[in-house]
Amino acid sequence: MGLFAPFLLDLRYFLIYYKVNISGSIMDILTDQSFFRSFHILFGITWIGLLYYFNFIQGEYVKVANPDAKADVFKKLAPNALWWFRWAALFTFLTGVILLHQITAKLSTEIILGATMGTIMMLNVWGIIWRNQKIVLGMKEGDAAAAGAKAGLASRTNTLFSVPMLMYMVYSAHSGSAYISIDGWSSTSLLLGLAIIFIIEANAIWGKMLPAITSVRAVITSSFVLAVVLKLITDLL
């Protein structure tokens, strides 16, 4: 045993050093904004890309497809795409929550509005779109026509939110404007921005498909208009 004592001692020190450095590296990763921001953006690209696919491509195709082609989409394509869609939404949300925790001291009106829209969109995916799409795809019993209308309205609402949400998602961390102040103008812009967002979401839950979001062209235009409106609110108020 005495012969191996120096080796065992060196091995012990190596393992302690290795463990400390690995633990330190893990902690560095867990507190690194750029690490989580990269995955936040990656998941966001996947999520919103699939959102645009459903609204701009698959949805328009299903309207004109023959019954056999439509059935094939519902049986083989849509379930797989919806799997990636809903989980990308959830992981975009989770990485966003981590980022919010890391930048609490630097919260701005833009970040709060963007996070609010992102949270609502994720809840729409899991609480309205996926729940009703299971009925549309025949995975669950129910009124397929009514379920399709509900899922379509929520999906269009998410598309409406997408441009301003992405705008705040990618640039708000680099912006020094509109930081929260109890008695500052930013409080006014925050409340007004939130009011607009909640009114739009109320229509997604209890309202109906409006002309501003019915067609692909209309919802794209409306999304950019909403982004401009929210930008003016946060910049001018």
Assigned token pair, 97: 């929550």
CA distance 168 to 222: 17
The pLDDT tens digits of the residues spanning 43-74 come to: 999 999 999 999 999 999 999 999 999 999 99
Tokens of 144: 């397929």
Q: Which residues contact 134 (CB under 8 A, 6 or more apart)?
A: 140
pLDDT of 29: 55
182 confidence band (pLDDT: 50, 70, 90) = very low
Residue 119 contacts residue 93 (beta carbons within 8 Å): yes
Question: Residue 175 above 60 pLDDT?
Answer: no
pLDDT at 110 over 90: no
pLDDT of residue 138: 92
Q: pTM of whole model > 0.95?
A: no
pLDDT over threshold 80, residue 102: no
In tens, the pLDDT along 219-230 reads 999 999 999 999
- Return the half-sphere exposure (C-beta side, CA atoms, 13 A cut-off) of residue 100: 19
| Weakest mean pLDDT among 59-63, 154-158, 232-236 | 232-236
Q: What's the whole-number mean pLDDT along residues 181-196? A: 76
Tokens for 195, please give them: 């009011």
3-class secondary-structure state, position 179: strand
Shortest CA distance to 78 belongs to which of 147, 136, 152, 155? Answer: 136
